[in-house]
């Protein structure tokens, strides 16, 4: 790779990091990536217009002479900047499409209630695996592993199944927590969430990739406590059954980078948790 | 190996690590009982010790039938069930611990311990039984902790632990904590070495509770409070936290208040919670060092948070969630933490109820200290004289023993969340009947009742027993309007034969004394003559604290001679009760300085007190200015209090020995 190309790649990644940190997601689009080459021809200047001189007033005269044919070389030369057709964005972390074998993907999402960082790699054309880190902004931190298997589809609609598994560390013991991260997220010490993902993307190279992610979150609470006195000793592990619904779009900014926006609704099964909790996510997905 | 296979193996390994932590709840076994009731390990039997009758009742919890009744000894006060289902009963009245094997239902053997054993605990490996005795048989100055090997029931060690030890608890790290009942102090013991932990002088409870006492930034004097009556040590299942019920006794000057406002015992509790003697809980972190977690009660800052972070222990004062509804909390006696470590149950004898509160927080949907000033979630009424509680292993039932009614009641819960309520489902078993006459039984109830508005205003809610702990005293010196007054012991002093009353002796008969104390001080409406008689007769027959020292009997004999002749003590402390019921100025009358004695009621000094049981009633004199009998005898400038200047040191020591034998 020529030096200038490496420099361009480096600058692209640097810009991505800066943008991710500052939240200026739109800045992640590197224009240099979108144009194949600088224009080779420039626009010739047109003839200079003659100064305007009013015609003298005169009586109508004989008809003017017939126009003479013009040779082709006499036309002014006009140069057009040609755009190469956009390559479609195939890097999806939230939608159904798999990354493809040995392709990588990363995402950083700032949202409520979760801040999420994910790194994925395609181990097969249809199977992505990866690691991630979810945080309720410090008061709950959850390293995770995840996998996604693309079931198939067509050019526009794809389906996949996914599985997330992780353990969560909480800043407070469960018995002390009052409407904290457990109540809000439904997470407990260990969490397993299989799900089904459906996505739709138009044929346009920059068409937004809409996704719908339905998950069942099974939480394993290894520090259950008696929420009410004299209501019995809970078992050593208490299970939580939750449904997570996520919908949104990955909006490509480039061939490999998308802005992601999502809304969701968490339905918690444990009485100790909030019944329903909305969620929102804003972030970036990239395959850089 | 392909990349795919490697990825799969890493994933499987990560998943294995991820779920390897799913282990059994370590809180499965815990101290589930305290005081006079306990459950067998499988909850099949409930054991209830009846102090008056000297028996242990065995109740089948499936049928609530009494299956056995075992005469265990005099005045059983605490029951403990070991891991092998052996039952141990501390008999306070005959200085022994009865050992009973499950199914035998008879006393297998008796362990000889010190004077008045009151505390029992078992190490977590079930190999050592720990017994606290209020006093040593060698000296009433200190109590002892005795360790027995449970396999052989032979003593392993016996160590002095300080004056009037009461409860003992095994904590993490092969250590034990012992509470000093009157002083409200904790003593830490290394069980491996069988000795006190080095450097355990004061435990810091007082300093923490009065942290802002020297803060003058608000331009006012702060009230200070001393913990008294530390009757139990309630251990959390992980043994890293202990809760100690106490009474916060006010130390600074107490102003007069009209009876209509609750009397002058009503005002000035910690942060306006309760009265001058207020029920409380001291939380002690025992993870590494023994660290009390106590609110600063002197500053009265709303102390639900600690630098913005909510405190993770119950409020240090116990109060009902709603005031003015006839509810109160007084006389915390015993308690237990539920098997999950989440809920703390405290039995309050003087208010006849059980307070339930979170053990590790003070706010939430169910309780809010910031707004209500209490972290108590529920308050359930129980019978009179409650002094025992046991929780079932499954955490659904609590059994409470009402000593004055000789019956077991059961508490259970209905509903969940905001609808959850704890209810008293009623009597499970009537264990025994009164041995006292109806009059004495009624008198005892009056003495211990902080809710009876004849005795105490609903604004005050104190009982006689709040300060005269168990009919004795709390070791506290009160700054009353008539001067400093140490709580006098009543037990053994034969109230009916020792008129006049009060340190000042301003009440020539019990009628006027009762009216003054009950109406003017406690804010009660007053007793009828017959009710007052019941109260007085019960107090009159109380036995004194046992001293019974074995050591230096010859010195006692010599000291008696010194007492009666050379030192001239018997010129005032004479007769069977060792008082002439007259007055004497022994050099402690203070008519001039701050909080002086009220000269208008002082005639010729102070009312000469009886010396029965004096050894266990420190501190001494009306102002508590003498902390020991040695100090009292050796520090007597000008022979104002007996003629001691002519005594040799040996004679003084003999005199002290005699006083300790009374």
CATH number of the domain where residue B537 is located: 1.10.760
Which pLDDT belongs to residue A261?
Answer: 97
What pLDDT, on the 0 to 100 scale, is given for residue B307? Answer: 59
Query: Do B245 and B308 share a structural domain?
Result: yes
End-to-end CA distance of chain A: 16
Q: Is residue B338 part of a domain?
A: yes
Q: Which of A154-163, B14-23, B551-560 has the highest mean pLDDT?
A: A154-163
pLDDT number for residue B197 = 86
Confidence of residue A224 (pLDDT cuts 50, 70, 90): confident
Q: Stretch B33-54: mean pLDDT, rounded? A: 96
What's the CATH number where B188 sits? Answer: 2.130.10.10
Nearest residue, CB atoms, B395 vs list A173, A220, A233 = A233
Q: Is residue B632 part of a domain?
A: yes
CATH of the domain at A116: 2.40.160
Report B:290-319 residues touching A (Cβ under 8 A). 310, 312
Backbone angles phi, psi at B99, to 5 degrees: -115, 125
In a domain, A274, yes or no: yes
- Cβ neighbours of A167 in B, within 8 Å: 18, 21
**B398/A230 touch (CB, cutoff 8 Å), yes or no:** yes
Q: What local confidence, expressed as pLDDT, does residue A51 receive?
A: 53
Cβ contacts of A173 on chain B, cutoff 8 Å:
360
* Cβ atoms B146, B134 nearer than 8 A: no
In sequence order, the β-bridge partners of residue B426 are: B410
* Biggest distance spanned by C-alpha atoms of chain A: 117
Confidence at B402, pLDDT banded by 50, 70, 90? very high
CB contact A138 to B (< 8 Å): no
The answer to whether residue B361 neighbours chain A at the CB level (below 8 Å) is: yes
Q: How far apart are CA B631 and CA B559, in angstroms?
A: 16
pLDDT class of B298 with cuts at 50, 70, 90: confident
Q: Does residue B4 sit within a domain?
A: no
Option in A165, A220, A226 nearest B343 (CB): A226
pLDDT of residue B583: 86
Residues B388 and B505 in one domain: no
Give mean pLDDT, residues B374-390. 94
Domain count, chain A: 1
Q: Do B19 and A232 touch (CB under 8 A)?
A: no
* CB-count exposure of residue B504 (10 Å: 0-12, 13-18, 19+): buried
Q: Is it the case that residue B30 has pLDDT exceeding 60?
A: no
Q: What local confidence, expressed as pLDDT, does residue B117 receive?
A: 96
Contacts B15 to A, Cβ<8 Å? 145, 165
Tell me what pLDDT residue B272 has. Answer: 78
Number of domains composing chain B: 2
- Residue B321 and residue B428 share a domain: yes
Instruction: Enumerate the residues of chain A whose CB falls inside 8 A of the CB of residue B312.
Output: 176
Look-up of token digits 């000094």: B605
Distance, CA of A206 to CA of A250 (rounded, Å): 10
Q: Per residue in A133-173, pLDDT tens?
A: 999 999 999 999 999 999 999 989 999 999 999 999 999 88
Residue A102 has pLDDT above 50, yes or no: yes
Contacts of A176 in chain B (CB under 8 A): 310, 312, 360-361
Q: Report yes or no on A165 lying in a domain.
A: yes
Q: Is residue B12 part of a domain?
A: no
Percentage of chain B lying above the pLDDT 90 cut: 62
- Would you mind telling me the total number of residues written for chain B in this entry? 662
B156 with B42, same domain: the answer is: yes
Do residues B427 and B488 share a domain? no
Q: How far is B28 from chain A (nearest CA, A)?
A: 9
Task: Looking at the structure, tell me whether residues B225 and B296 fall in a common domain.
Answer: yes
Interface membership of B5 toward A (CB under 8 Å)? no
* pLDDT at res. A23: 41
Q: Please tell me whether residues B285 and B170 are part of one structural domain.
A: yes
Boundary residue ending a domain (B435, B467, B487): B435
Cβ–Cβ below 8 Å for B377 and A229: yes
B222 inside domain: yes
Of B305 and A5, the structure prediction assigns the larger pLDDT to B305
CA–CA distance, A190 with A54 (Å, rounded to integer)? 89
Same domain, B189 and B80: yes
Of B3, B11, B422, the CB nearest to A230: B422
Chain B residues with CB-CB distance to A130 below 8 A: none
The answer to whether residue B202 scores a pLDDT higher than 80 is no
What confidence tier does B459 reach under pLDDT thresholds 50, 70, 90? Answer: confident
Is any Cβ of chain B less than 8 angstroms from the Cβ of A176? yes
Q: Tell me if B149 sits within 8 A of B132, measured CB to CB.
A: no
pLDDT of residue A6: 52
Q: Region B571-581: what's the mean pLDDT? A: 91
Contact A147, B8 (CB under 8 A): no
Judged against a pLDDT cut of 60, whether residue B240 lies above it is answered with: yes
Distance from CA of A88 to the nearest CA of B (A): 27
B411 and B450 together in one domain: no
Per-residue pLDDT at B219: 57
Q: Do B39 and B46 form a contact (C-beta atoms < 8 A)?
A: yes
Which distant-in-sequence residues (6+ apart) come within 8 Å of B303 by Cβ? B271, B295, B296, B311, B315
Clarify whether residues B403 and B473 are in a common domain.
no
**Model confidence at A21: pLDDT above 80:** no
Is B379 in the same domain as B447? no
Inform me whether the pLDDT recorded for B260 exceeds 60.
Answer: yes
Instruction: Indicate whether B430 and B533 sit together in one domain.
Output: no
CA distance A239 to A232: 16
Residue B488 lies inside a defined structural domain of this protein: yes
Instruction: Please state, in angstroms and as integers, the Cα–Cα distance from residue B432 to each residue in B347, B358, B643, following that order.
Output: 21, 34, 52
Domain that holds residue B598: 441-661
Q: State the smallest CA–CA distance between residue A204 and chain B in angstroms.
A: 33
Cis-peptide, bond into residue B619, ω within 30° of zero: yes
Mean pLDDT, to the nearest integer, of B198-218?
76
Which residues in chain B are contacts of A226 at CB distance < 8 A?
338, 340, 342-343, 395
Q: Up-side HSE of residue A243: CA atoms within 13 Å toward CB?
A: 6
Q: How far is CA B372 from CA B279, B332, B527, B588, in A?
A: 16, 20, 33, 44
3-state secondary structure B294-313: CCCCCCCCCCCEECCEECCC
Inside any domain, residue B568 = yes
* Mean residue pLDDT across chain A: 81
Looking at B397, B415, B435, which one is the last position of a domain? B435
Query: Does B106 fall in a domain?
Result: yes
Give the residue carrying structure tokens 């996604």.
A148
Say whether residue B395 is in contact with chain A using an 8 A CB cutoff: yes
Instruction: Give the pLDDT of residue B304.
Output: 61
Lowest mean pLDDT among A65-69, A102-106, B54-58, B628-632: A65-69
Residue A220 contacts B where some CB pair is shorter than 8 Å: yes
Structural domain span for residue A128: 93-286
Strands (E) in B113-228, as ranges, are 115-122, 128-135, 143-149, 155-162, 165-171, 175-180, 185-190, 195-196, 225-228
How many beta-carbon pairs under 8 angstroms link A with B? 107
Residues B156-173 as b/e (b if ≥16 CB within 10 A, e otherwise) read bbbbbbbbbbbbbbbbee
Q: Quote the minimal CA–CA distance from B448 to chain A in Å.
A: 28
Domain stops at, among B397, B412, B435: B435
Q: Helix (H, G, I), strand (E, B), or coil: what is residue B85?
A: coil
Of A222, A228, A271, the CB nearest to B413: A228
A23 half-sphere exposure, CB direction, 13 A CA radius = 5
> Contacts from A1-9 at CB under 8 Å and sequence distance 24+?
A8/A32, A8/A33
pLDDT-derived band at B600 (thresholds 50, 70, 90) equals: low
- ipTM of the prediction greater than 0.85, yes or no: no
Which residue from A124, A167, A178 is facing B4, i.e. has the nearest CB?
Answer: A124
Please answer whether residues A191 and A88 qualify as being in contact, where contact means their C-beta atoms are separated by less than 8 angstroms.
no
């Amino acid at each position: 790779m020529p030096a200038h190309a490496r420099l361009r790649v480096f600058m692209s990644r640097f810009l991505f990091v800066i943008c991710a940190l500052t939240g200026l997601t739109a800045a992640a689009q590197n224009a240099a990536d979108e144009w194949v080459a600088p224009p080779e021809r420039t626009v010739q200047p047109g003839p200079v217009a003659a100064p305007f001189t009013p015609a003298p007033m005169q009586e109508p005269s004989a008809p003017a002479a017939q126009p003479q044919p013009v040779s082709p070389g006499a036309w002014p030369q006009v140069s057009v900047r040609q755009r190469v057709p956009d390559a479609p964005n195939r890097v999806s972390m939230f939608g159904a499409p798999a990354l493809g074998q040995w392709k990588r993907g990363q995402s950083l999402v700032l949202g409520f209630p979760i801040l999420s960082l994910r790194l994925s790699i395609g181990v097969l054309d249809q199977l992505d695996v990866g690691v991630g880190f979810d945080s309720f902004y410090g008061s709950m931190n959850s390293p995770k592993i995840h996998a996604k298997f693309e079931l198939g589809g067509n050019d526009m609609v794809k389906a996949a199944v996914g599985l997330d598994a992780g353990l969560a560390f909480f800043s407070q013991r469960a018995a002390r927590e009052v409407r904290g991260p457990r109540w809000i997220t439904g997470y407990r010490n260990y969490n397993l969430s299989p799900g089904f993902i459906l996505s739709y993307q138009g044929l346009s190279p920059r068409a937004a990739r809409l996704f719908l992610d339905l998950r069942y979150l099974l939480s394993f609470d290894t520090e259950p406590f008696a929420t009410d006195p004299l209501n019995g000793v809970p078992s050593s592990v208490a299970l939580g059954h939750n449904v997570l619904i996520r919908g949104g779009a990955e909006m490509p900014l480039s061939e490999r980078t998308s802005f992601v926006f999502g809304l969701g609704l968490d339905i918690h099964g444990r009485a100790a948790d909030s019944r329903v909790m909305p969620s929102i996510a804003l972030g970036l997905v990239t395959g850089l | 190996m392909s990349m795919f296979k490697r990825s799969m193996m890493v994933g499987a390994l990560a998943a294995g690590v991820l779920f390897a932590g799913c282990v059994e709840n370590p809180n499965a076994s815990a101290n589930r009982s305290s005081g006079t009731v306990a459950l067998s390990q499988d909850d099949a039997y409930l054991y209830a010790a009846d102090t008056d009758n000297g028996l242990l009742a065995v109740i089948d919890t499936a049928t609530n039938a009494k299956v056995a009744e075992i005469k265990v000894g005099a005045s059983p006060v605490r029951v403990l069930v070991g891991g092998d289902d052996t039952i141990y009963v501390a008999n306070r009245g005959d200085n022994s611990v009865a050992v009973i094997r499950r199914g035998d239902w008879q006393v297998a053997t008796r362990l000889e311990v010190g004077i008045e054993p009151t505390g029992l605990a078992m190490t977590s490996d079930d190999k050592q039984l720990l017994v606290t005795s209020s006093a040593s048989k060698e000296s009433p100055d200190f109590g002892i902790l005795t360790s027995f090997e449970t396999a052989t029931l032979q003593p392993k060690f016996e160590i002095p632990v300080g004056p009037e030890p009461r409860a003992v608890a095994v904590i993490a790290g092969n250590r034990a904590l012992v509470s000093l009942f009157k002083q409200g102090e904790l003593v830490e013991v290394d069980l491996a070495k069988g000795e006190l932990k080095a450097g355990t002088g004061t435990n810091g409870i007082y300093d923490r509770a009065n942290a802002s006492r020297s803060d003058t930034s608000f331009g006012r004097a702060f009230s200070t409070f001393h913990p008294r009556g530390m009757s139990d040590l309630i251990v959390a299942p992980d043994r890293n936290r202990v809760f100690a019920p106490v009474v916060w006794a006010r130390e600074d000057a107490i102003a007069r208040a009209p009876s209509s406002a609750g009397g002058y015992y009503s005002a000035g509790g910690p942060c306006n919670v309760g009265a001058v003697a207020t029920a409380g809980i001291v939380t002690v972190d025992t993870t590494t060092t023994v660290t009390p977690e106590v609110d600063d009660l002197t500053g009265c800052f709303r102390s639900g948070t600690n630098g913005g972070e909510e405190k993770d222990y119950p409020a240090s004062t116990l109060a009902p969630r709603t005031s003015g509804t006839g509810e109160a909390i007084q006389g915390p006696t015993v308690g237990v933490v539920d098997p999950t470590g989440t809920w703390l149950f405290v039995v309050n004898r003087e208010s006849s109820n059980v307070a339930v509160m979170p053990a590790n927080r003070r706010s939430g949907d169910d309780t809010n200290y910031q707004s209500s000033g209490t972290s108590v979630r529920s308050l359930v009424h129980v019978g009179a004289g409650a002094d025992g509680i046991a929780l079932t292993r499954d955490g659904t039932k609590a059994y409470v023993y009402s000593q004055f009614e000789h019956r077991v009641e059961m508490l259970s819960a209905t509903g969940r969340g905001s609808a959850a309520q704890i209810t008293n489902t009623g009597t499970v078993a009537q264990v025994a009947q009164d041995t006292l006459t109806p009059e004495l039984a009624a008198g005892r109830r009056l003495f211990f009742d902080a809710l009876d508005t004849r005795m105490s205003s609903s604004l005050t809610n104190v009982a006689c027993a709040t300060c005269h702990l168990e009919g004795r005293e709390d070791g506290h010196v009160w700054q009353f309007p008539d001067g400093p007054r140490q709580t006098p012991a009543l037990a053994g002093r034969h109230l009916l034969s020792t008129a006049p009353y009060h340190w000042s002796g301003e009440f020539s008969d019990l009628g006027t004394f009762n009216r003054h104390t009950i109406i003017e001080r406690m804010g009660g409406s007053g007793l009828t003559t017959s009710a007052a008689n019941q109260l007085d007769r019960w107090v009159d027959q109380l036995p004194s604290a046992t001293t019974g020292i074995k050591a230096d009997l010859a010195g006692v004999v010599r000291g008696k001679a010194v007492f009666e002749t050379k030192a001239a003590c018997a010129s005032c402390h004479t007769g069977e009760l060792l008082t002439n019921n007259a007055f004497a100025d022994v050099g402690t009358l203070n008519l001039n300085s701050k909080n002086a004695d009220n000269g208008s009621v002082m005639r010729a000094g102070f009312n000469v007190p009886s010396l029965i049981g004096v050894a266990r009633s420190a501190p001494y004199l009306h102002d508590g200015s003498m902390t020991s009998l040695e100090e009292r005898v050796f520090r007597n400038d000008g022979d104002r209090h007996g003629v001691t200047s002519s005594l040799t040191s040996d004679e003084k020591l003999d005199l002290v020995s005699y006083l300790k034998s009374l």
